[in-house]
A and B are shown apart, each in its own frame.
Chain A
Amino acid sequence: MSTRWYPIYQRGNPQLRVFLPNFWMKLVRPEHKQPENIVRFITPTQMSDHDIKQYLEKIYKVEVASVKSKIKEGLIKRQRFRGYIIKEPDYREAMITLPPGQTFKFPDISTEKEKRDDDEIKKFQDAASQSFDKFKEMNKDRPGVPGWFSV
């Protein structure tokens, strides 16, 4: 069981149970515009459609109407300076259809982060300008004196 090695299934034997599945799944943005009830996943190539359905239904309690999946080849690129070829691993792309009445919208994560980052940068800029104002205030009566001169 835990050795990740399963006996061959013979008809009439009890069904094999997976106690510690080690498949991963990624929920990703669809490449092209899709209807609202379609969700795109990236999974390992070993996973079958049945596996994907069971995985979502049993672990995530998501109702699945249908699964369509295909293996996609990883990107093949050329290394910029040495010129050798780099291949990214293959993956399985699964398109899940939710049952009627259910929809899913991919959340906007990065835009919120951008907003937050802008705020932080603004905070730093404000702090810097304030400290410079303080410095100018201190050296009002002695222009041209370097910052390290006074205590």
Chain B
Amino acid sequence: MNKLSRVLGVVRNQLATYVPRINATTQAAVAPTADPKVPAPAKDKHEGLMEFFDVKENWTTNEVRVGRSWRKEELRIKSNQDLHKLWYVLLKERNMLLTMQHEMNEKWEPFQSPERIDKVHESMVNLEEVVRERNRAYYLLETGETGERPGRVETNKVGMHYFFKASEHVVPPEHNNHWFKKFGCNRREVAKFRLYYNEKIWLGRLKEKNRNTRHVMKLYKRFPDLDEEALQAEYPDVNLERVKRWNGAQGHFMPRNL
């Protein structure tokens, strides 16, 4: 932990970003207690477990002032080792914040500066994205593939399309009877279902078109000098020339050329 703090201390000074503070308990642990007259440290103080709690000065404050989260540009210039260390610092910080928040909620107390959780989360997301970028670049260079999880659009049991995330299996699907019984399908019933389902979608589209046509008709009735180009852009599937000649589209106006 001390080595870690040294590494991150440099980073903190350079970039002035939110590097969580190392717990006071770990620093206090360095001081030796060789003197027999001095009583042994209290048994309740468990160093490792006290890392789940904030530094003691922050227990009584109403606000904890912190910096911003780590940005991608800053993380991109760090080495893999530094990123790995920073990940664990952020992980511990998140655990600490969640623990404190839970405790405060249980005691009906306001949790100080809850935005810290979001900041840590944002940093972690950025860090993972940067690591992923590197991974992708490495795999492209070495194997010609991205190394990401493969996926494709597939048809499921009821004939609907969905994005399938591939994963490794011990048995191929054509030899897996159990899987086929569970996820295989009756094609005739699926075809019937698809027919009705497509009809429903088609009817929905038709109804929408008719609705739009009627709406345009009413618009013509109220505003005879409409900007037709804009109207056509708004409702592309309505035949304006046809709608204009309908009785419902004629307003109670004097004819133009009397």
Within 8 A of B (CB), among A72-111: 98, 102-105, 107, 109-110
Task: Please choose the segment from B7-15, B46-54, B191-199 that sits at the chain A interface, where 4 or more of its residues have CB less than 8 A away.
Answer: B46-54
Residues of A within 8 A of B99 (CB): 26-28
- Residue B186 lies at the interface, judged by CB distance under 8 Å to chain A: no
Main secondary structure of the interface of B (DSSP, over half): helix
B15, chain A: closest CB distance, angstroms: 21
Residue B95 CB within 8 A of the other chain:
yes
Q: Mark each residue of chain A from 26 to 54: 1 if its CB lies under 8 Å from any CB of chain B, else 0.
A: 11110000000001001000000000000
Q: Is A71 an interface residue (CB 8 A)?
A: no
One of A58-66, A123-131, A132-140 at the interface: A58-66
Given contacts A28-B99, A29-B103, contact A1 B135 (CB under 8 A): yes
Q: Mark B84-111, 1 if CB is under 8 A from A, else 0.
A: 1001100110110011101110110100
Tell me how many residues of B have a C-beta within 8 Å of chain A.
43
Shortest Cβ distance from residue A142 to the other chain B in the assembled complex, whole angstroms? 41
Residue among A3, A8, A24, A42 making CB contact with B168, cutoff 8 Å = A8
Residue of B nearest to A110 (CB): B107
- Residue of B at shortest CB range from A7? B168
**Can you list 28 residue pairs at the A/B interface with Cβ under 8 Å?**
A2-B131, A2-B132, A2-B134, A3-B135, A3-B147, A3-B148, A8-B167, A8-B170, A20-B84, A22-B128, A25-B52, A25-B95, A26-B99, A26-B102, A27-B95, A27-B99, A28-B102, A59-B88, A62-B46, A62-B49, A102-B46, A103-B46, A105-B44, A107-B50, A110-B103, A110-B109, A113-B109, A120-B62
Q: Given the known A-B contacts A1-B135, A20-B131, A27-B52, are A110 and B170 also in contact in the complex, defined by CB atoms under 8 Å? A: no
B188 contacts partner chain A, Cβ-Cβ < 8 Å: no
Interface, chain A (partner B; CB < 8 A): 1-3, 5, 7-8, 19-22, 24-29, 39, 42, 56, 59-62, 98, 102-105, 107, 109-110, 112-117, 120
Of the listed residues A25, A29, A112, A113, the one surrounded by the most CB atoms of chain B closer than 10 A to its CB is A113
A26 x B109 contact (CB < 8 A): no
- In the assembly, what is the distance between CA of A137 and CA of B209, in Å? 80
Please encode chain B, from 112 to 155, with 1 for each CB lying within 8 Å of some chain A CB and 0 for all others. 00000000000010011001101100000000000111000000
CB < 8 Å: which of B51, B87, B102, B169 contacts A42? B102
Q: Which residues in A have their C-beta under 8 angstroms from that of B167?
A: 5, 8
- List which B176-234 residues lie within 8 A (CB) of chain A: none
Is the beta-carbon distance between B94 and A24 smaller than 8 angstroms? yes
B59 within 8 A of A: yes
Which of A1, A2, A5, A42 has the most CB atoms of chain B within a 10 A radius of its CB? A2
